[in-house]
Structure 1
Amino acid sequence: MKVGICTFNIMMYEGSSLKEKRMIVKSVIERIKSRYNVSIAEIADQDKWRLATIGFCCISNNKRHVEKTIQEVLRFLEKDGRGELINIDMEVI
């Protein structure tokens, strides 16, 4: 069994309040959950309105599948355009 773990920060320039940040983060998380088979959550920086730290993981019996899923999620986030990905940390165990 292989487990892929990825954490990243996303800098958002559109929102001007914590309420708008929460709406964006919730939307991004729900879209990823529905499109990819991963567990995902905002894990830090809940009180900062331009920065979110999000983590997700996936499990498979194939290391390539785990790596591919992580890359697809990150590509999806880059194409989404609601924020800039920074400080990406990936690990496959």
Structure 2
Amino acid sequence: MKITALRIELFIKESQSLKDKRRVIKSLIERIKNRYNVSIAEVGDNDSYKKSTIGLALVSNDVKFNDRQVKEILDFIDANPLVMIIKSETEIW
């Protein structure tokens, strides 16, 4: 069993309030959860309306599968015009 954890720091473009941020992040999290079947949540920068940190985890028998999923998820986020990836960190167990 291989476990991959991914931590992503995001900059929310054009966000003017926490309400704007919540709308963007909630939508992004739901789309990732439904599309890739991963556990995902906002894990940091809760009080900042321009930044967010999300964490996600996925489990499989194949580390290469996990690597492909992580790449697809990062590409999916990168394609979203409302957010910009500042930093991402991956851990594998």
TM range, smaller chain? over 0.9
The letter for the 1-side match of 2:70 is: I
CA RMSD for the aligned pairs?
Answer: 0.7
Q: How far apart, in 2, do the equivalents of 1:15 and 1:86 lie?
A: 16
- The answer for unaligned runs of 5 or more in structure 1 is none
CA-to-partner distance for each residue in 1:24-47, whole Å, 9 max, x for gaps? Answer: 000000000110011000001110
Partner of 1:51: 51
State, as a whole percentage, how many aligned pairs show the same letter: 38
Partner of 1:8: 8
Check whether the contact 1:10–1:83 (CA below 8 A) recurs between aligned residues: yes
TM superposition outliers: structure 1 runs of 4+ over 3 Å: none
Displacement after TM superposition at 1:14 (Å): 1.4
Check whether the contact 1:11–1:52 (CA below 8 A) recurs between aligned residues: yes
- The answer for unaligned runs of 5 or more in structure 2 is none
Check whether the contact 1:66–1:92 (CA below 8 A) recurs between aligned residues: no
Matches within 5 A, 1:5-44: 5-44=5-44
Partner of 2:82: 82
How many pairs were matched up? Answer: 93
TM-score by length of 1: 0.97
